Amino acid sequence: MSATPTTFSFGMIGLGTMGRNLLLNLADHDFAVAGYDKDASKVSLLAEEGAGKPVQGFSTLPEFVDSLHTPRSIMMLVPAGKIVDSVIEELRPLLAPGDIIIDGGNSHFTDTDRRAAALEAAGFHFFGMGVSGGEEGARFGPSMMPGGDKEAYQVVQPMFEAIAARVEGEPCVTYIGPGAAGHFVKMVHNGIEYGLMQLIAETYGLLKNGLGLDNAAIGQVFTQWNNGRLQSFLLDITKDIFAFQAPNTDHLLLDDIKDEARSKGTGKWTSQVAMDLELPVPTIDTAVALRDLSKYKVLREQLATLYGPAPTPLAVEHAAFLTSLEQAFFFNMVITYAQGMQLLAKASKEYSYGLQLAEIAKIWRGGCIIRSSFLNDIFNAFQQAPQLEHLLLDERVRDLVTQAVPGARTVVAAAVAAGLAVPAYATSLSYFDTLRTARMPSNLIQAQRDYFGAHTYELIGHEGVFHTQWTPAHEDAANKQDTQEGPENKSEQPVIPNK
């Protein structure tokens, strides 16, 4: 194929790191591709890195659009929000009915639904696609989650399957489902990512402040874990971080980085949607909250002085505690994935996505940020039982959790006793213990709600809802009302079941 074809089969708007690397990935697989960016320096960088490949950059949108053969397939990789709408509005007059627009950014799924409806009404095809893997994944093989217009996806499917990461010879891309399913799944992926990153950070804190290990020893722990059942992309990069020195120094760059974590909002979206669906994901919620808490650096420093002394070292035998810590991290990792998968199952029913959880776990095994060895267990669990309500119901997962939970209890107990903060560790354990509680104390909450707000309650073994007047004065008034109004109102009074 010529390095400078007269027409291109695929176009990319946004030549930042992700967009440029995806284009180069496509060009490596002999697809003729074009890119557009208002920033001329990014266009020049594409030309430099794509020298000798079937790729060309453009600085004007009409010229870019005209370079694509019809029906055109154009992907956007621009920041989520108003910029996406702005790009679409600028693009629409240049397109013809039947052209395909793909949003590959981290758009909120409700925005994707809105855009799809508007573009479909105008005669265009549109779908949203989550892309995970970061800079390296985009260049050499990402995990991709397309959803929406299936007919449009099938047009570009050969391209995406060619450039996707591969596990056991299969591409890490699959059609997710209708509507905004692709962006919804990517959002939950990012929520899981938040949870796992918070767990790793808390582990770092325990190793550093609890056991007093130096950076070299901490890096060795993460390296050892990454060679075992905890193998994952996030642990892999963590071990690398613990080997990277600041330029022209004798210490790690990590030690120079301010302890304030930023975010782009996708973790928060996961928590918000989960609350809307009344589905608890407390480990993810905690991870979002701790990123926010980290930003209050000055306040934390003031309170550290006011409420000293500092936390004490863990009163434990190091080797035994490290064994427990590995178990605890594994347990917490399972819980984090389980919360995300249950949210996907609930959303699939609520939004009629028809999600295939086994297929989602399958494409997450390679290319994406949350890839890990444990995803094979998740894939097997949902392949065997596609309608599995919760990952913890799987027999294999049950055995793994049962073996790991003693370590989780040991770590949380020791950390709390020493005054070391482990919010995600503790939240995951409490979530697990609550989830396996057949009778929660929530009956008291219902009694309280009925007491102060007449919100009613239900009774064990009886149909209907009930309300009680809980104070003597109210009871006298209620009895008088019953006498005057007859038996038809007695259904509002409690029926106490026989014991």
- By annotation, the residues acting in catalysis are 186, 193
Structure tokens at 373: 């060895």
Closest by CA to 382, choosing from 369, 372, 371, 393, is 393
Q: How far apart are CA 425 and CA 199, in angstroms?
A: 7
User: Would you say 234 and 190 are in contact if contact means Cβ atoms under 8 Å apart?
Assistant: no
Q: How far apart are CA 376 and CA 180, in angstroms?
A: 26
User: Would you say 46 and 23 are in contact if contact means Cβ atoms under 8 Å apart?
Assistant: yes
User: Would you say 375 and 298 are in contact if contact means Cβ atoms under 8 Å apart?
Assistant: no
Peptide bond into 142 cis (omega under 30): no
Sequence-separated (6 or more) residues with CB below 8 Å from residue 381: 388, 391, 394, 396, 397
State the DSSP H helix or E strand holding residue 36, giving kind and residue range, or none if neither.
strand 33-36
The residue type of 422 is V
The position carrying tokens 């409490």 is 430
Report the sign of the C-alpha dihedral through residues 227, 245, 207, 292, in that order: negative
Q: How far apart are CA 421 and CA 8, in angstroms?
A: 54
Q: How far apart are CA 384 and CA 56, in angstroms?
A: 46
Peptide bond into 93 cis (omega under 30): no
Q: How far apart are CA 210 and CA 225, in angstroms?
A: 18
Nearest-5° angle of CA 33, CA 36, CA 38?
Answer: 165
Closest by CA to 334, choosing from 290, 386, 285, 370, is 370
Structure tokens at 217: 């020893």
Closest by CA to 7, choosing from 82, 65, 67, 95, is 67
Q: How far apart are CA 335 and CA 341, in angstroms?
A: 10
φ, ψ of residue 265 to 5 degrees: the values are 105, -10
